[in-house]
Amino acid sequence: MTTAPFGARLAAAMSAYGPLCVGIDPHASLLQAWGLPDDAEGLRRFSLTVMEAVTGHVAAVKPQAAFFERHGSRGLAVLEEVVAAGRETGTLVVVDAKRGDIGSTMGAYAEAFLRDGSPLAGDALTVSPYLGFGSLTPAVDLALASGRGLFVLCLTSNPEGHEVQHARTATAEDTAGGPSVAAVMAAHAAALNADATPMGSIGLVVGATVGDAAARTGTDLAAVNGPLLAPGVGAQGAGATELTAVFGSARSQVLASSSRGVLRAGPDVAALRAAALEASQEAASALR
């Protein structure tokens, strides 16, 4: 991919369209609410309608791979169409696949989602670092070489997340008193983004509803110098107060993700677009 780094392209898109990323999450219940069948054709009509509505109006879209994978090869073909539509229209596509493994397997995931010419390669990929941040090296290397980005799971809003993310790491000097796992992941991302302007391409996933978790775990989000993908804005209840508590001085780095709050306005394209614009304005106001 001959292009500017993902971090620079995302910063430009956020400046132009606001800090909103619209999730493309075709739950069976949403397909039903839109009057669509729960099959690959319903999935296709749903996804491309969302793309039509928000292209040129939001910073990015985030298709959730699992909702495409549940329809098998035909569902994956629809995901390829979404990625292609983003490429054709200049809309940044974050593929939310949360891949994480070791060695050649991680390399194969990287090839699938980050290699030039792969039909599944959007502009960025969500990844899980919980086999150790170093296990992501094949994805990091390929993302940076191809001008793409990563969003590394750091502080997630699911109730089980703290079991791993808030745990303290062992050090050679003190087997119980090292930094939190979340802080270590953030520090690795910060090292990869050092000196990048306007921001680096290795971001974090930080739930918009995790409260003061960053402060309690010693996770320096501002130092990351990269984008912070924040699910949970809008329908899940995170507004200005919650976002300030979570992100503090790092608010300008936040890419706020909203799915249900926008998608429930469908299937009318104009209504979807209006919902996306409203959500974008609300996110911008909340992140000032």
CB 97 within 8 A of CB 65: yes
| Bridge partners of residue 75, in order along the sequence | none
Annotated catalytic residue within 27, 98, 166, 168: 98
Decide if 13 is inside a domain. Answer: yes
Decide if 278 is inside a domain. Answer: yes
Residue labelled with tokens 């001085």: 249
C-alpha distances (whole Å) from 244 to each of 118, 124, 154, 240, 266 are 38, 26, 18, 6, 30
How many of the other CB atoms lie within 10 Å of CB of 269?
A: 14
- pLDDT (0 to 100) of residue 171: 64
Decide if 186 is inside a domain. Answer: no
Terminal alpha carbon distance of the chain: 33
How many of the other CB atoms lie within 10 Å of CB of 139?
A: 26
Give the total number of structural domains in the chain: 1
- pLDDT (0 to 100) of residue 81: 98
pLDDT digit string, tens, across residues 244-274: 889 999 999 999 999 998 999 999 999 999 9
- pLDDT (0 to 100) of residue 240: 73
- Sign of the alpha-carbon dihedral angle for 276, 282, 285, 288: negative
Farthest CA pair distance, the chain = 60
- pLDDT (0 to 100) of residue 232: 83
Decide if 224 is inside a domain. Answer: yes
The letter for the amino acid at 57 is: H
On average, the pLDDT of the chain sits at: 94
Q: How far, in Å, CA of 235 to CA of 261, rounded?
A: 5
Residue 98 catalytic? yes
Instruction: Give the domain extent around 256.
Output: 6-159+197-286
Indicate the pTM of the whole model.
Answer: 0.96
Nearest Cα to 62, choosing from 232, 274, 213, 236? 232
Decide if 146 is inside a domain. Answer: yes
Decide if 171 is inside a domain. Answer: no
DSSP per-residue codes, 23-91: EE---HHHHHHTT--SSHHHHHHHHHHHHHHHTTTSSEEEEBHHHHHTTHHHHHHHHHHHHHHHHHHT-
The CATH number that applies at residue 40 is: 3.20.20.70
Decide if 191 is inside a domain. Answer: no
- pLDDT (0 to 100) of residue 60: 98
Decide if 232 is inside a domain. Answer: yes
pLDDT digit string, tens, across residues 37-83: 999 999 999 999 999 999 999 999 999 999 999 999 999 999 999 99
pLDDT digit string, tens, across residues 153-174: 999 999 999 999 999 997 656 6
C-alpha distances (whole Å) from 217 to each of 154, 167, 183 are 11, 8, 7
- pLDDT (0 to 100) of residue 234: 64
Tokens of 138: 């094949």
